[in-house]
Amino acid sequence: MNIAIIGTGYVGLVTGACLAESGNSVICIDNDEQKIAGLRAGTVPFHEPLLDAVVLQAGRQGNLQFTTRLDEGTRLADIVFLALGTPTGSDGNADIGPLLQCAHELAEILDHDCLVVVKSTVPPGTCEDIQALFDTMLGRRAAGCAVKVASNPEFLAEGSAVTDFRLPARIVVGTSDDADAETLKQLYAPFDPDGTRLIEMNLRSAEFAKYACNAMLAARISLINELANIAGPLGADIGPVCQVLKSDPRIGPRYLEPGAGYGGSCLPKDLRALIRMAGDKGETAPMLHSIEEVNRRQVGLVFNAIEKYFWGRFQGRCVAVWGLAFKAGTDDIRESPSLALIRALLDAGAQVRAYDPIAEPAVESSFTHPGLVLADSAEQACLDADVLVVMTEWEEFMTPDFRWLASTLRSPAIFDARNLYQDKDLKSLGLRHYQPGRTF
């Protein structure tokens, strides 16, 4: 099929590249000329494992092109995906302004039948509004073509987005009629070989499904964090307790890692939007508020443990921080718990020496502070530091030289916010070891 994708952020680009890989002819459209020039030269503007290779390969095969021109990019499209960002707006809900503006521009130029598919995370009712906009504007123009709108939310997680697209756990398709669902079924057939993954529903349900999934994931994280916080003072060890939970097939093994709370560009934003939508409908949504509250507290607990260790005095103290990205596998620092901790440490008067294998440029371009030094290596971050805090679960932090750390850190202690060393006996190596649910 001929596919146009509007928005070459991480959702749009992964979708475009993977649909091109599966044999479609794809044109990705973005109004950022620099980004498009880079993509034409094979440069992916953010870190995402496997994506560079897929973009290059699909480009070489002639299946993937890039343009800044909406008319040129959509001229032959059977399907136009809208993959623009919907960040938190001033009222807490998703800001769908740019998405509506784009739909408006499309309605001014489309002159052939096609399916417009909303990939962006949007409040239920948005697709219906966009459908109404097309119906009105195409009618007014006497365009003589029919444009239908469908919802197809994405469930890609940063760091595993290409694999998530190639092997989806489910494909959600929301439409207002069977013919549109059939079109999307055909498009996704290569990704649903056993025909069991595509779930059809109406437009509003598909839009809501995305929020429901992220709320459920956030709920699990906040609940395991809360359980960990209670386990510690009760003398219970959250490590084996997690194992017990994960082994229950009714509960399942994932999103049960206690830590410094969830971050990133999706879970926090979607929770805020859902709370706002609930409020607009007169629902108080107490669970959703609690999920957020627990999450907000979590970084504070790491900070409090460090503060206690220093007897409340940060002056003259230097803290090494491993990990800036909101999780491993990405250079994304949006709503990263690590940055929240670093800000709190700097505000309290500490010096910070931080290291991240790939997210340092993102920090350099958005956050500088005289007390913050970005180190070239994990070891270098620890030189002249009193203690170490591990905030992101990068592979290279998994097996550090603990003896070296014990002899290098001035007040040897590791604040293991990701529970990476939960089975290690660091005490015998001369390192104090603080972990969520045990000593935070």
- Residues known to be catalytic: 266
The correct pick among 267, 274, 294, 374 for binding ligand UGA (CB under 6 A) is 267
Q: Is 341 annotated as a binding residue?
A: no
Q: How far is CA 104 from CA 28, 99, 133, 146, 409, in A?
A: 18, 9, 7, 15, 58
Within a 13 Å sphere around the CA of 302, how many CA atoms are in the beta-carbon half? 33
Which window, 85-93, 257-265, 353-361, 364-372, contacts ligand UGA (CB under 6 A)? 257-265
The correct pick among 63, 74, 126, 214 for binding ligand UGA (CB under 6 A) is 214
Determine the longest span between alpha carbons in the chain, in angstroms: 79
Tokens representing residue 55 in the block: 């973009």
Tokens representing residue 128 in the block: 């219906």
Q: Taking CB under 6 A as the rule, does residue 156 contact ligand UGA?
A: yes
Q: Taking CB under 6 A as the rule, does residue 191 contact ligand UGA?
A: no
Q: Taking CB under 6 A as the rule, does residue 327 contact ligand UGA?
A: yes
The correct pick among 155, 188, 309, 367 for binding ligand UGA (CB under 6 A) is 155
- In the complex, minimum distance from the CB of residue 393 to ligand UGA, in angstroms, rounded to a whole number: 7
Determine contact, residues 292/285, Cβ cutoff 8 Å: no
Determine contact, residues 393/323, Cβ cutoff 8 Å: yes
- In the complex, minimum distance from the CB of residue 295 to ligand UGA, in angstroms, rounded to a whole number: 9
Determine contact, residues 9/51, Cβ cutoff 8 Å: no
Which window, 32-40, 182-190, 250-258, 311-319, contacts ligand UGA (CB under 6 A)? 250-258
The conformation of residue 94, written as its DSSP 8-state character, comes to B
Which window, 14-22, 152-160, 166-174, 228-236, contacts ligand UGA (CB under 6 A)? 152-160
Which window, 70-78, 259-267, 351-359, 407-415, contacts ligand UGA (CB under 6 A)? 259-267
- In the complex, minimum distance from the CB of residue 40 to ligand UGA, in angstroms, rounded to a whole number: 26
Q: Is 156 annotated as a binding residue?
A: yes
Q: Is 258 annotated as a binding residue?
A: yes
Q: Is 15 annotated as a binding residue?
A: no
The correct pick among 102, 217, 223, 363 for binding ligand UGA (CB under 6 A) is 217
Q: Which of 392, 334, 360, 426 is nearest to 87 (CA)?
A: 334
- In the complex, minimum distance from the CB of residue 269 to ligand UGA, in angstroms, rounded to a whole number: 8
CB-wise, 115 or 221, nearer to ligand UGA? Answer: 221
- In the complex, minimum distance from the CB of residue 348 to ligand UGA, in angstroms, rounded to a whole number: 23
Among positions 110-129, residues that touch ligand UGA (CB under 6 A) are 121
- Give dist(CA 329, CA 159) in Å, integer: 4
Dihedral in degrees, nearest 10, Cα atoms 238, 354, 382, 372: -130
CB-wise, 386 or 416, nearer to ligand UGA? Answer: 416
CB-wise, 15 or 74, nearer to ligand UGA? Answer: 15
Dihedral in degrees, nearest 10, Cα atoms 298, 304, 306, 308: -150
Q: Which residues, 6 or more positions from 374, have their beta carbon under 8 angstroms from its beta carbon?
A: 354, 355, 360, 363, 364
Length of the chain: 440
Q: Is 86 annotated as a binding residue?
A: yes
| β-pair partners for 67 | 29
The correct pick among 211, 314, 326, 434 for binding ligand UGA (CB under 6 A) is 326
Q: Which residues, 6 or more positions from 69, have their beta carbon under 8 angstroms from its beta carbon?
A: 29
CB-wise, 59 or 124, nearer to ligand UGA? Answer: 124
Dihedral in degrees, nearest 10, Cα atoms 373, 376, 377, 380: -50
Q: How far is CA 60 from CA 26, 40, 47, 57, 402, in A?
A: 13, 11, 21, 5, 47
Q: Is 108 annotated as a binding residue?
A: no
Which regions of 261-406 does DSSP assign to beta strands (E)? 318-322, 351-355, 372-374, 387-390
Q: Taking CB under 6 A as the rule, does residue 264 contact ligand UGA?
A: yes
Among positions 269-308, residues that touch ligand UGA (CB under 6 A) are 270
Binding residues for ligand UGA, rule CB under 6 A, total 21
The correct pick among 21, 48, 158, 331 for binding ligand UGA (CB under 6 A) is 158
- Which residues make up the interface to ligand UGA (CB under 6 A)? 121, 154-158, 214, 217, 221, 255-257, 259, 262-264, 266-267, 270, 326-327
Binding residues for NAD(+): 30, 35, 86, 121, 158, 269, 334
Binding residues for substrate: 155-158, 210, 255-259, 263, 327
